[in-house]
Every structure is written in structure tokens, then in C-alpha cells.
Chain A
Amino acid sequence: MLSNGQLAGEEMKKSPSFSLFLSRKKLYALVGLLFIFILFVWPILRLIWLSFVQEGTLTLGHYREVLQEQATWTTVGNTIVIVLGSTALSLGLGVTLAWMMAYMNIRGKRWMQLLIFLPFIIPSYITTLAWIQLFSHNGPVAGLLNWLPGSLAVPNLYSMGGIIFILGLSHYPLVYLFTVDVFRKIPRELVEAAKTSGATKGQVLRRIVLPMALPGIASGGLLAFLTNLDNFGIPAFLGIPANIRVLSTYIYEQVAGFGPSAFSRAAVLSVMLGIIALAGTFIQWRLLKRSRVTETTARDTEPRIYITGMRRRVIESGVWAFLLITSLVPFICMGALSFVKAYGLPFELENLSLKNYEYVFLTDPKTGTAWWNSISLAFLTTVICLIAGTAIAYVRYTRPGSVTKLMELFITMPYALPGTVFALCMILAWMQPIPGWNPGIYGSVWILFIAYVTRFFILQVRGSYAAFLQVDPSIEEAARVSGAKGWTKWRRILLPLILPGLIGGALLVFLMVLTELTVSSLLWSAGSETIGVVIFNYQQAGYTIYSTAFASIIVCGILIGGLLFTWFNQLWERKVRKEE
């Protein structure tokens, strides 16, 4: 045994040469950061690089070529109109609903909240499919309009207006989610102070409530903007048949078209998409720069505006009608139509059968493969993200600082990129991970696995990090002082407290991978089809009723999963955390 003094001497002798360059702790941090950089950021840099290179020399040739085409500018114009229109719709719906849910004494808020979240957990291409059924030529809307006097035509969803409408409806929950708590956190006293100073209701809303809610509204609006820009499913289902292109579908067509310079052209378009996304972020930053955020106060869920009698009933039924029509009716309609024997037949008892389900599950071998692929990919991705993501979240929690913040920024980038752009990055990075060496990852199911982990990793990191933040550092310190170390500390104290948060994050990753379409549509190959790809291909080939049958099963699965998670969470809170 060496005494302390000797040990200290040993260290002293070693340390100068070592600390000349780096201490060991800093070395670990640097290696970890480099590893994350190569996995998450390097592919993006390779994409940007590709847009500037032709036959080994730096050039602006690709840009010149793409920018001179009329099609490019039509696409950019479409993209801007569609994204701004749908973001405005999302903002209007989201902020109004959030304001009503936060302040009004309407009944049944829990159930309303569930219906608001429904479009959020169901993939947008399935939502589109459902709306297409609702507005089809022999669907319920057509029937209703026929019955009404006058000759009203069914609105055509395969149009700019249709795309804006479905995008706006699909993404208003994001705005709602960001604003409802901001509204609740505005101290009631501030509004009362304005009222006692003589402000009218309108003035209170304009001068106090909305300016204070601006950070939430701006963040929700930006997220809706980016999600609308990034969305592939809705413009692919509605726009491609109508020859309306936006950047995300245009990039997809370039890559899928496999022209001589397909990847370079797609890279140029991706950079343009990135510039539009940055412009949106810049606007949000400008908005937030002027607003001053007060210290967050406690959430106040008590209603502040009391309405009674007739007015209350009218408002409540209005909200219910809106939520049911937008969140439930299309799916019921899609479910019903999936039982119709052939597309175009009226919905009558003699035309109903399970034939479509039989085809989808028993006859077509591709669907079986797709189920197996999507479920095993989702499972594997979730396990990897759960373990590695929680470990990274723990590092971020115990060592807050610039290094871990940078690490989080790196991990966020693949998720922040539009899906088509990200898929292109993955192709470029993994086709030849080291230039000249092609291990055959691209073209197998493994490219999908790598892409899913890279893209959705941040969801688990955020979920786990949020769960850790709920645990006060003194809770862990108390365990250590009581003698618990390593595994005991995790098993007895930390895991029981963070488990619901971890499961929530993991479930989100699982759901996202299971129903993913955008990235898969560019990365799949024969034998590695996923659920999203199969539904997309049915739709593209005109087999609408097969896609509705498939999609109906997915929606049921998601609903059952969601209910199970809610039930588990409540049980956990009651049995384990014993919260009141």
C-alpha cells in the first residue's frame, strides 16, 4: 500500500507532461464530442460540400443550373405560400384554443385536450388519407352537399388550398402545446392590476396577455413553420397527383429520379430549404429579442373567465364540434370505407366485407415484411436510444456547461433538418463511410436503422433530461449520504423517479419510427419496406382501399398504445410516487 503522500508525489511527477496538453477529463470530453460530431453533424457538412463540388473541383455550377430553371422558382414560390398559409392557420387555431382552454370555465377539458393531441400522434400521411376519404366524390361531405339546396361542389383537396388546410390542421397542436402553459403562467394579478388601472377587456388582451404570451406563441409558431416546411406526407399525397411541388417533394423526386447529377441537384435544393428554415428562425429570434420574459411563475389552472348559461353551452358545443370534426370524423370515415369491397361503391351493407384486410394481411407478402421491418426497427431503435440517450441526458444533467450544451446542439441537428434533406445526408454519409469503401449499408435495412437512431435520438435525450430535471439534486445527494452508491442509487432512488419520463420518451421514439415515411421513402430498398412506404406505394398506385385498411389498423394500434401509456402513468403515479 502506498501512503497518501507517496500517491500525491506519483501524481505530481506524472501530471506536468500530461497537463501540458490536456487533462484526462478534458480528453474524454473531447473524444465524446468528436464521436457525436461525426455521427450527427458530419453527414450534414458532406451534403453542403457536395452542392459545391463537380468532378473534384469547387464550383457554383450546380447552383447556376438549378437556379436558372423555372421549375425551381415555381417550387420555391409554392413552398413559401403553402408554409406561410398553413402556419397562419396553425397559429390562429392553436392560440385561440389555448386561450380558451387556459382561461374559460368550459367543461370536459381533459377530453378536449385528448382530442387536440390526436392529430399530433397520428402520422400526417394517414390524416391526409382520412381527409381524402371524407371529401371523396361519394364520401359523407359530398352526400351532405347533394342533400342541401343549390349545386355546391365538394372542395378539391388536391390543391394548394387543400394542402394548406390539412397542414394547418395537423400542426396546430404544436402551437397549442407551446402557448397553453404560457397563458396559464401569466400571473392573474397582472391582469387584475391592468383592470384596476382602468383597462378594458380588449386592452388587457392586446396590451398585457398577448405580449406576455409572445415567447410561447413565437416558439410554437416557429415549430409549426419548420414542421410545415419539413412535411413530406401531405404534399406528397395531395400535391404530386396535382402537379403541385414543394421543396421537400421536389428533392424526393430528384433523388428517386436518379439522374446523372441527381444528388448534387438535390443537395442544392436542400441548401435552399435550409436557408428558408433559417429565415424563419431569424424572424422568431427578432420577435423574442424585443420581449422580456418574466421569471416563470407557477401554473395556474383555475379558470379566469366565467361564462354561464346559453353562452357557455354555445361555446362548449362549438369547441366540441370543431374537435370532433377535425380529429375524429375523418378517421371514422376512413375506417368505414376500408370495409367497402371496391373503391367507388356506396357505403351500404351489401358492399361491406373484410376483403381489403384479407388482402393487406394475408395476400400481399410485402405488408408482412413491412410490419416485421417497422416493428423490429422501432424496437431496436428505441432500445438503443433509451440506453444511450438516457446516459447522455445524465451527463447533461450532472455536468451542465458549454461542452454538454454543444453536444445537445449537435444531436438536435438531424432532427431539425427536413426529413428529405436528412435522408440525403444519410445516403451521402453511409454509402461510402470512408471514401472508396462501400460496405453495403445503403441498400440494406441497416441504413434505415442508422438513420432512425440519428434522427430520433434527441427525442429520448430530451425526454430523459426532462425526467432528470424533475429530480432535485439533493434527492441524489441524500441517497449518497445514506451510503447508496452506483447500482443501488439507480435502482432504489433514481430509476423509480424517472421511469415514467423515460418510458414517455421511448414510446415517442417507437411511435415515430413505426410510422415514419419521409426518411424511409428515400432510404428503402426491395425487402426493407416499412409501413409508411407500403401505404405510400398503395396510394401512388391507386389502391386507396388497401391503404385505408392498413392505415385504420395503425390508428387503432396508436390509440390502444396511447391509452395503455396513460393508464400505466396513472397507476405509477398512484402506486409508486404516491402523489396526491
Chain B
Amino acid sequence: MVQPIMGEKGEKRRMISVRDLKKVYDSFTALQSVDLEIEDGEFIAILGPSGCGKTTLLKLMAGFMKPTSGEVIIDDALVASPRQLTPPEERNIGMVFQSFALWPHMTVREHVMFPLLHHRFTAKDLKKNMRERVETVLELVGLKQLAGRYPAELSGGQKQRVALARAVAALPRLLLMDEPLSALDVELRMEMRREIQRIHRKTQSTIVYVTHDQSEALAMADRIVVMNEGRIEQVGTPEAVYTKPETEFVAAFVGKCQLMKGTWEEGVFIPEKLPLERWKDHGVSVKLKKKGFYPVRPEQWRLAPGGERGEGGIVTLVQYQGKEIHYTIQVENEEWEVHDSVYSPRFYVGDEVSLSLRSFAETREAALV
């Protein structure tokens, strides 16, 4: 079941099929039965907490190891199964590593030149005009002035640009990225996100991007694969994953939702704690409905002074964030997260408040503020 790709027209060819893939290390199961289809030219983000198996999945796609069972098919050719493995050097791929993995004894130019010289899939015209290609790639990542430098003479952001340039130089069909921005500081991360998106648009290659940072995945990907404990929890567009989580894990990890318990009756939700309320269905998944859950994201709550209609609680923490305010509210024995606009009435630590659900229209409005 492949969902349509946002903002793309026409038929897309399938590029990668991962079938029933499983990987066991000694006694630890890193990946249990994963199925995934990736279209040509798609930007896929694999999102999950550390230890969820996302890096294992990426390494299997790259060909660094054999799966315990299942298979990987790229461009209709079987490249990995328990019996057979096409090693990474014989695959048409590029990769960006978390630790940059630059070669300390080579200049920036030599890094970009390396795959052009050695990659067996390098197109003939690129090989013929190698110098030109190197200059083009260096310009693409903005390193033209630093071509003669060695890695030790570069800053963190520049190193990551070199790693990117090396990965895309030979125009691989598939670009794998293993948490490429996690070693950079916040400012640089924002800049590099735009850089990676621009490169994706220019090169048109398929990108599989592994990250534990949900905002990275939401910002860049065409589709997000959310993983947990070696399993895929949900595959979908960023908006679908964020607003319509299918499982409890996705609701909590991506949307930071509060899962309200209650009962579903004729498409309306009756929260256990507020039996007089009737909450409308904005596309809650069948799975969550069955379990009697209604996911509420922090920005969906409306705060009002205590005593008004809604769930009562006490403000325990206030964090001013500039454009919004993050409140932590103690409701009985639980702590709920609430994000409110700076233009709404303010509350302070110790205030009694009551929480109620914003209407769908209101949330949209709040998002626009």
C-alpha cells in the first residue's frame, strides 16, 4: 500500500522494495519483518528513537551486511538476501555519514574526485569532463573557494558540505543519509536542511534519510517512515503522520500527543474525565478508536481560568519560547503539555486552569498566528 506522493504529478516508478526484512545480531533483534516500497526520486525520512532499527535498515540498503531473512530489491535486481549480497562498491549509491567520514589525507577537491574516478556507475560524460563536474559540485555546495583545503582546516558545517559533495558527485541513483545533521549546531542544521532540499531538487536522486529529529523529517521528506523497536509504525506524508497518527507510539513521538481515554459512540468521542463533552472525529485512526483513545496535541488545548468548563489542573512550569508559550499542567497525577499563543491570556505557576479542546477551525487559526 503506497500512498500518493505530495506535490508530484504523473506515474512514478518503483525503485526499492524491501520485503519481510529481518536482522538479528547474536541475540538482539534489530529489525523484525519490515516491508517498504520507495518510488524513484522520492525523499524518504526514516524517523525513530535511537535503537529502533533505522540505521540497521539503512546499512542493509547500502549493502554493508546481509539480512537474517527477507530481501532488498533495487531497480528490479535482488541485491540482498540471506544468501546473496551485492557489496556497496557495486551499487549505484552515495552515502553521507553522521561522523562525516572524511579522509584526513585528501583535499576537498580529491574527495569529490574520488567517486568520479572509482565508481563503476559514473556516467561516461561525467568521467570525460571530470574537472568540470568537480567544479559544478563544489559550486552546488558552496565550497569553490576551499577546494584545496584538508578536512582538518574546515569547520563542522564545511565538513558536512564536503561529505554531501562526495556523495552526490557521481550522480548516484540512491542517496543514503545517516543522521547527517546531528553533529552540527542548531543554526547550521537549519541552513543544511535547505541545502539538502536544494540538492534533492537539482539531482532528482532518491534520498533515504535517517533521523531521530522529527522536525527534520517533517520539514524535508516527501514521506516519513516512523519506526519503533525494529518495526514500522506508520508510513505517510509529513502532514498525515503529524495530524493523523495511526498508533499510540506515532501520536506520542511525532505529535507529542496526550492520549485521552474514553469511548467512541457513533463517530463522537466521550472523554472519560469529561463525560459531558462530545469531541468530533478529525480522522482518528481505526486502531486508536478501537482502543478508546483520542490523541490531543499540545496546541489543540485551550486554557481558561479555573472553574470554567473543562478539565481542571494547576500550572507547574511556564516556558516562554518567543512566539508561543509552553505550559506544563498537572492534571491529577499526570503532567500535560500545552502550547499556547503569546497573544492569549497568560497564566503563571500555581494558577488553577481548565483545559478544553479547541475546535478544528480554531486550531487552524492558532497555527496561522
Contact = CB atoms under 8 A, between A and B. Distances in A.
A483 B170 contact: yes
Interface stretch (A143-151, A152-160, A436-444, A489-497): A489-497
A484 B152 contact: no
B188 interface: no
Interface string B147-158: 000111100000
B84 A474 contact: no
Given A11-B83, A483-B89, A579 B104 contact: yes
Given A4-B84, A496-B105, A497-B104, A477 B97 contact: yes
B64 interface: yes
B101 A477 contact: yes
Contact of B152 (A7, A480, A579): A579
A482 B104 contact: no
B121 interface: yes
Contact of B78 (A4, A479, A483, A577): A4
B115 A482 contact: yes
A210 to B, nearest CB: 36
A450 B41 CA distance: 60
A477 B88 contact: yes
A298 interface: no
Contacts of B99: 472, 474
Q: Place the interface of chain B in its size category.
A: 35 or more
A286 B98 CA distance: 41
B95 interface: yes
A7 B84 contact: yes
A481 B122 CA distance: 13
B114 interface: yes
A475 interface: yes
A578 B150 contact: yes
A478 interface: yes
A481 B170 CA distance: 11
Contacts of B115: 482-483
Nearest to B90: A485
B78 A492 contact: no
B105 A481 contact: no
B89 A577 contact: no
Interface in A24-50: none
Contact of B89 (A4, A474, A480, A492): A480
A480 B118 CA distance: 10
A404 to B, nearest CB: 15
A4 B114 CA distance: 32
Nearest to A496: B105
B105 A578 contact: yes
Best-buried of A7, A8, A483 by chain B (most CB within 10 Å): A483
Contacts of B78: 4
Contacts of B122: 483
Contact of B118 (A482, A496, A576, A580): A482
Contacts of B103: 475, 478-479, 493, 497
B105 A497 contact: yes
Interface string A236-257: 0000000000000000000000
B225 interface: no
Contacts of A478: 95, 97, 101-103, 163, 166
Given A480-B87, A481-B62, A482-B119, A578 B101 contact: no
A577 B62 contact: no
Contacts of A580: 152-153
A1 to B, nearest CB: 13
B312 interface: no
Nearest to B100: A474
B280 interface: no
Contacts of B88: 477, 480-481
A477 B81 CA distance: 20
B47 interface: no
B120 interface: yes
Nearest to B166: A482
A147 B78 CA distance: 90
Interface string A338-372: 00000000000000000000000000000000000
Contacts of A496: 105
Interface in B164-191: 166-167, 170, 176
Contacts of B170: 482-483
B295 interface: no
A488 interface: yes
Best-buried of A4, A478, A580 by chain B (most CB within 10 Å): A478
Contacts of B151: 578
A578 B114 contact: no
B343 to A, nearest CB: 45
A485 B170 CA distance: 16
A483 B101 contact: no
A521 B95 CA distance: 57
B118 A488 contact: yes
B64 A477 contact: yes
CB-CB nearest 4 A-B residue pairs: A483-B119, A578-B150, A474-B101, A482-B115
Interface of B: 62, 64, 78, 81, 83-84, 87-90, 93-95, 97-99, 101-105, 114-115, 118-122, 150-153, 163, 166-167, 170, 176
Given A8-B84, A480-B87, 18 more contacts: A4-B78, A4-B84, A11-B83, A472-B101, A477-B95, A477-B101, A478-B97, A480-B89, A481-B93, A483-B89, A483-B115, A484-B118, A485-B90, A488-B118, A496-B105, A497-B103, A576-B105, A578-B153
Interface of A: 4, 7-8, 11, 472, 474-475, 477-485, 488-489, 492-493, 496-497, 576-580
14 contacts: A8-B81, A474-B97, A477-B88, A477-B95, A479-B114, A480-B88, A481-B62, A481-B95, A482-B119, A483-B120, A493-B103, A496-B105, A576-B105, A577-B152
